[in-house]
Amino acid sequence: MPPKAGADEPGTITLYRPTGRRELALVRESGYRAWPPRLPEQPIFYPVLTEDYAIKIARNWNSKDALHTYLGYVTRFAVRADFLRRYDVQLAGGRACQEYWIPAKELPTFNENIVGVIVVIREYRHDAEVPVSWYEDEAGSGGLSPNDLVHP
């Protein structure tokens, strides 16, 4: 049985992150316990505070973008509250768009403060929600079976 997500653990804050296929593959390589290092053009890691905001990004952006292979995922994970206190909640375009801005150089410490695992809770393909799974690539290889994902 896969490890449980840390959501609902005392002393934690549940966060969400919209992501694409490539980043999710790197999360899988970590055993669903860490976010991968940022690319040079990504100086900030931004987990969001609500599932609705993560859905909006995954559905309206990731799943419509060739760079993300027209797939968007919403993940949920828990982070120690005492660690997050060092960061201010940022508004990214309105009260419903709340996120933390974690500098890329601080991501390893952020990852050490994840409690439990990162869980995939929603999947979007070409802006439509589909059952959570992992599809094979266009060549029919390299995909993961649905059992490879940690589900809620």
Q: What radius of gyration do the chain's Cα atoms show?
A: 15
Lookup: tokens for 121: 């809770």
Q: Tell me the average pLDDT across 51-67.
A: 82
Residue 47 backbone zone (phi > 0: left; psi -120 to 50: alpha; other: beta): beta
The reported pLDDT for the residue numbered 90 is: 86
The reported pLDDT for the residue numbered 74 is: 93
Q: What is the pLDDT of residues 8-26, one digit of tens each?
A: 678 999 999 999 888 999 9
Structural domains of the chain in order of their starting residue, each with its CATH number: 12-148 (3.20.170)
Q: Please calculate the CA angle 96-132-113 and round it to the nearest 5 degrees.
A: 60
- Weakest-pLDDT range from 39-43, 82-86, 108-112: 39-43
Distance (Å) of CA 128 to CA 35, 53, 56, 106, 146: 25, 16, 11, 34, 18
